[in-house]
Amino acid sequence: MSETAKIALVTGASRGLGAAIAHRLAKDGFLVLINFVSNEDQARELQNAIQQAGGKVELCGFDVSKSDQVDEKFDWIAKTFGPVAVLVNNAGITIDSLLMRMKDADLDKTLDVDLKGAIFCTRAATKQMMRARQGSVIQISSVVGESGNAGQSAYAAAKAGLIGFSKSVAKELASRQIRVNVVTPGFIETDMTGALTEVQKEAILRSIPLGFLGAPEDVAELVAFLASPVSRYITGQVIGVNGGMYM
């Protein structure tokens, strides 16, 4: 890493997977921009923790589902810090519902954040990467986008769409040395899995050949690899971190 730290933006970074990814990229010397929408207090706690560990970090609040906010913020980033070298599209929501009970508003919100938000940020970031003729975009999809899951059709559609989108833009941008890859986590120990009952956890563990839930750091390590020059010959790939539950 040069004296001027490269810029890495992690969306939805105030907690969970995003926070672990932010910590890991800061450890590698990136200036990490922590995106958040409403959890500013958690984002500041993460900022303090990374700074105490010796990392470089700044807060970067905006709503990924609003294209005008995305474009405005990426222009500000380029003028204030420099071009984004690594984009991690981690922001996402899930509103579980059987198809017959799905509300239009819930479908729109899921697609707006999980799919369109990643598209908006990828478009804005790669404009800067094209001028620099290098960059890495890492999409955080889900094993559900590969396997499907009852009660999560909207979420699965968004996460599957992210895979098709990423493969397409990987082909568009490869000539400019911009790599686009997808990480598909399985069941990872976060706030969401912490709310599961013991019966639910046991059922999940039976579906995982390795027999345990992953940790956010398992995902963060793969993201760090894909963000680094060590992975320079990898693009357009979908890599699972799921303990073998989907092969």
- CA separation (Å) from 238 to 24, 108, 165? 20, 25, 12
Tens digits of residue pLDDT in 44-77: 999 999 999 999 999 999 999 999 999 999 999 9
Active-site option among 30, 74, 155, 187: 155
Residue scoring higher pLDDT (203 or 1): 203
Question: In terms of Cα–Cα distance, which of 169, 168, 208 is closest to 189?
Answer: 208
Question: In terms of Cα–Cα distance, which of 75, 70, 48 is closest to 59?
Answer: 48
pLDDT of 197: 84
What number of other Cβ atoms are within 10 A of residue 92's Cβ?
Answer: 24
Question: What's the pTM?
Answer: 0.96
Could you give the CA distance from residue 229 to residue 128 in angstroms, rounded to a whole number? 18
Q: Which domains does the chain have, with CATH numbers?
A: 7-187+215-240 (3.40.50.720)
Question: In terms of Cα–Cα distance, which of 20, 132, 46, 40 is closest to 86?
Answer: 132
Asked about 246 being catalytic, the answer comes back as no
Cβ–Cβ < 8 Å for 138, 162: no
Which residues, 6 or more positions from 206, have their beta carbon under 8 angstroms from its beta carbon? none
Could you give the CA distance from residue 137 to residue 217 in angstroms, rounded to a whole number? 19
Across the range 73-82, mean pLDDT stands at 98
On the question of pLDDT at 1 being above 90, the answer is: no
Question: In terms of Cα–Cα distance, which of 89, 97, 148 is closest to 116?
Answer: 89
Could you give the CA distance from residue 180 to residue 238 in angstroms, rounded to a whole number? 10
Structure tokens that stand for 75 in this block: 């222009």
Highest mean pLDDT among 182-186, 190-194, 198-202: 182-186
What number of other Cβ atoms are within 10 A of residue 200's Cβ?
Answer: 11
